[in-house]
Amino acid sequence: MTFDLIVVGTGSAAQSVAHPCRDAGWSVMMVDSRPLGGTCSQRGCDPKKVLVGISELVDWTRRMQGKGLSAPTATIAWSDMIHFKRTFTEHIPASTEAELRDAGIVAVQGRAQFTGPTSLRVDGETYDARHVVIAAGARHAPLGIPGEADLLTSTGFLELEELPRRVAFIGGGYIAFEFAHVAARGGAAVHMFHRGERPLEGFDADLVTDLLATTRELGVDVQVRTAVVGVEKRGSEFVVRTRCGDEQGEIVCDLVVHSAGRVPEIDDLALDAAGVERVEKGGIAVNEYLQSVSNPAVYAAGDAVASGHLPLTPVAGMQGGIVANNLLEGNTRTPNYEGVPSVVFTTPSLARVGLDEAGARAQGLHFSVHHDDTSGWYSSRRVALTHTGYKTLVEDGSKRILGAHVLGPHAEEIINIFGLAIRKGLSADDLKDMVFAYPTGASDIGSMV
């Protein structure tokens, strides 16, 4: 069969390409080896935030004991929480299939492999197209350690019917922190192993230190500069072997979760058969229009792109829309990554947008740093959060907002306003002049710049 467009993947990036092209009259096929609908809605952002919301509520009630709340301390009913989470995810494959069918898009289940520049084979059937878009998402990065096959992934963690008593997380990124906070508040003894100097390396170091304090007070054993060198399954238990410098150690737990990063899921697409280049151990090598540098009939979006930017669902959707435009109208649009926020959904949440201090200095910018501990501010005291703060970078002269970093209540919403300021070139004075509703999280912004 021949189509105008074949899209590999059915997630946010893929659908942002497929639907506009189909609306323009193109014949479109989408192929996915996983349940239709992509990661965010089924195995990522959305179900994770359901767990985070319940965990946050439990934490809030515990913090407010003796401050006007006298009810018994809330606890997480794990199986009930997972069943509630499934009410958001279990319908996604069927509803996605129906939406694609109603739109006139052909959906094929299976793993695709290129057989030519724009030809793909799926389960023995060959399909041809004028254009192919690779939006296949990501998978967990290989660790290369003994026992790796016995590790649970974040996908499996989201399906646990019961929370084990002892849980270890390999990695110190946002997935590890978010799930560690949930598991600790669920009553588990939690360990986290990060091989680098500090976890959450994409976020402000000072605020990460504050979040580490909260995480450790929660009871999570966070070990940095500690690599997991092997995992051995012994009956129903796991032995996690670690190395920190010349010192070796081990712990025994009931579950080990792989949370040490993700890589584009493109290794088995037979890219060589299509002449599609990729960066070393990374995504598809594309030009500024998200077009393959080596095969102009192929584009990429989302996790499959070697963009150097955080693999975020909103970025994937934006890239998909740009690819659709460039397919339909010619290469006229390029992605704008300015002012795109990123959030770690812990309690409290940690958010960032724009440049950090090292990045601003690398660009030769002259700026002032506004940094403060906000645990004594009304917004933190009101909800009994003891480790909160912010850091903003304001350019000298223009007072342009270069970067913002926030740890605290409503940080995930406050950061969007800073993102808008960066994207639209608003100054610190513009934010100070804004009359925000009070008392709200946003009403603190004027004091942060």
Q: Six-digit token pair at 425?
A: 């070139």
Q: Six-digit token pair at 200?
A: 């959450």
**In 65-171, which residue ranges form alpha helices assigned H by DSSP?**
78-89, 92-103, 154-157
CA distance 215 to 276: 43
CA distance 307 to 316: 11
CA distance 102 to 77: 39
Banded pLDDT at 376 (limits 50, 70, 90): very high
Specify the 3-state DSSP secondary structure of 217: helix
Specify the 3-state DSSP secondary structure of 325: helix
Banded pLDDT at 218 (limits 50, 70, 90): very high
pLDDT at 67: 93
Is 74 or 240 the better-scoring residue by pLDDT? 240
At position 142, the amino acid (one-letter code) is: P
* Residue 55, number of CB atoms within 10 A of its CB: 23
CATH-assigned architecture of domain 2-140+263-329 = 3-Layer(bba) Sandwich (3.50)
Query: What is the average per-residue pLDDT within 142-167?
Result: 96
Cα 291 to its chain centre, rounded Å, is 24
pLDDT at 307: 66
**Residue range 171-193, pLDDT digits in tens:** 999 999 999 999 999 999 999 99
Yes or no: say if 43 and 154 are a contact pair by the CB < 8 Å rule: yes
Give first-to-last CA distance, the chain, whole Å.
Answer: 58
Count Cβ atoms within 10 A of the Cβ of residue 271 and give its class: 0-12 exposed, 13-18 middle, 19 or more buried. Answer: buried
* Residue found by looking up tokens 């070990």 in the block: 223
> Is pLDDT at 199 greater than 90 in this prediction?
yes
At position 127, the amino acid (one-letter code) is: Y
> Is pLDDT at 311 greater than 80 in this prediction?
no
**Residue range 406-447, pLDDT digits in tens:** 999 999 999 999 999 999 999 999 999 999 999 999 999 999
Lowest-confidence pick of 184-188, 301-305, 389-393 = 301-305
> Is pLDDT at 351 greater than 80 in this prediction?
yes
Task: Check residue 66 and report its DSSP letter.
Answer: T
Instruction: Report the CATH number of the 342-447 domain.
Output: 3.30.390.30
Q: Six-digit token pair at 142?
A: 């290989």
Query: What is the average per-residue pLDDT within 142-169?
Result: 96
Are both 148-260 and 342-447 of the same fold?
Answer: no
Count Cβ atoms within 10 A of the Cβ of residue 366 and give its class: 0-12 exposed, 13-18 middle, 19 or more buried. Answer: exposed
Query: What is the average per-residue pLDDT within 80-86?
Result: 97
Specify the 3-state DSSP secondary structure of 311: coil
pLDDT at 309: 67
Query: What is the average per-residue pLDDT within 113-120?
Result: 97
Query: What is the average per-residue pLDDT within 319-329?
Result: 97
**Residue range 228-287, pLDDT digits in tens:** 999 999 999 999 999 999 999 999 999 999 999 889 999 999 999 999 999 987 899 999
Banded pLDDT at 70 (limits 50, 70, 90): confident
**In 186-270, which residue ranges form alpha helices assigned H by DSSP?**
205-217
In sequence order, the 6+-apart residues with CB closer than 8 A to the CB of 20 are 321, 324, 325, 328
> Is pLDDT at 308 greater than 70 in this prediction?
no
Query: What is the average per-residue pLDDT within 123-152?
Result: 95
Average pLDDT, the chain: 95
CA distance 38 to 57: 28
Yes or no: say if 302 and 319 are a contact pair by the CB < 8 Å rule: yes
Class (C level, CATH) for 148-260: alpha beta
Q: What kind and span of H or E run contains 20?
A: helix 12-23
Task: List the domain boundaries for the chain.
Answer: 2-140+263-329, 148-260, 342-447
